[in-house]
Amino acid sequence: MIKVGIIGGAGYTAGELLRILINHPQAEIAFVQSSSNAGNPVTDVHVDLLGETDLMFTDEMPFEKADVLFLCMGHGKSVEFMENHSFPKYLKIIDLSHDFRLKREGNDFVYGLPELNRDEIESSERIANPGCFATGIQLALLPLAANGLLNDEVHVQAITGSTGAGQKPTETSHFSWRNNNLSAYKIFEHQHEGEILQSLKQLQSSYTSDFNFVPIRGNHTRGIFVAAYTKFSGSLEEAQKLYNDYYTGHPFVFVVENNPSVKQVVNTNKAVVYLEKHGNKLVIISVSDNLIKGASGQAVQNMNLMFRLDEKAGLNLKPVAF
């Protein structure tokens, strides 16, 4: 059994990690750290786990009891955490913040998008888990980049559920504001653009065209809907073959012929991709769950790869389709 430690155990991503790992056939949770909840039952915060676990939050961090450590703290806190602690050499680390996603000198974290870096993930000790928007958008575009076909502007409009903003209430996440409402934010300057462009250029170094991303706050709780388009000279059938070929062997991405909806993937680690051709433009629809494939499920997928387990272990989850 793989022994798991979780740092920052009270938030949404930690709650989803716990839900998945409690039922993982080859994982055992060694400790769940939360300074603000130390001594309290995990189910006091993650009420959906009532009857599933008797785990208690702790303010201790016994790294020696874990084989892998998940960092579920806020953005900016993981860098500080890594600088202020020493770890056993065998301890693998998966960070769910944006702190280590961009390559820079001294950053030894591998960018943890399995559909891009599976081989590197398998041999890595430290993983930077991708952002939720970044995951959905990259899965819409990677096959084009891999074939050198991103040669014009890319336009993306994507809608996210309120859980993407985290557990702490904000002006734009509380019910009375979010319900029956939509709004765009961080237009052309969203923090996930850096990692998206980094991945596209990893596959297609010649990509220099504009990337136009309009993020939208949705009035639903969870799920990401991506609508992207760019110029494509081939036929729809040629595009579908490119996408099917690229995702062969990647068990969580499904290229479909029917226009998908978010409810097909909520509560799962699946991503569904759909294509349409209109004139000289290829439209790509991508749907995924921001907390699962966009965060905690992908983190467990990365853990499975790092320990050479079945990639789908613990992740056979049914969508909440109705």
Q: Which residues are catalytic?
A: 132
Cβ atoms within 10 A of the Cβ of 271, count? 29
Q: Taking CA 168 as the corner, what is the angle to CA 175 and CA 72, rounded to the nearest 5 degrees?
A: 135
Instruction: Output the six-digit token pair for 100.
Output: 């280590």
DSSP string, 142-166: HHHHHTT---S-EEEEEEE-GGGG-
Structure tokens at 105: 């000198």
The closest alpha carbon to 33, from 15, 70, 7, 11, belongs to: 7
What is the rounded radius of gyration, in angstroms, for the C-alpha atoms of the chain?
A: 19
To the nearest 10°, the Cα dihedral for 12, 18, 23, 29? 170
Q: Cα angle at 317 between 14 and 291, to 5 degrees?
A: 35
C-alpha 102: how far from chain center: 15
Both tokens of residue 275? 């294509």
What lies within 8 Å, CB to CB, of 33 at 6+ separation is 5, 6, 7, 8, 9, 57, 58, 59, 60, 61
Report residue 195 as tokens.
């990692």
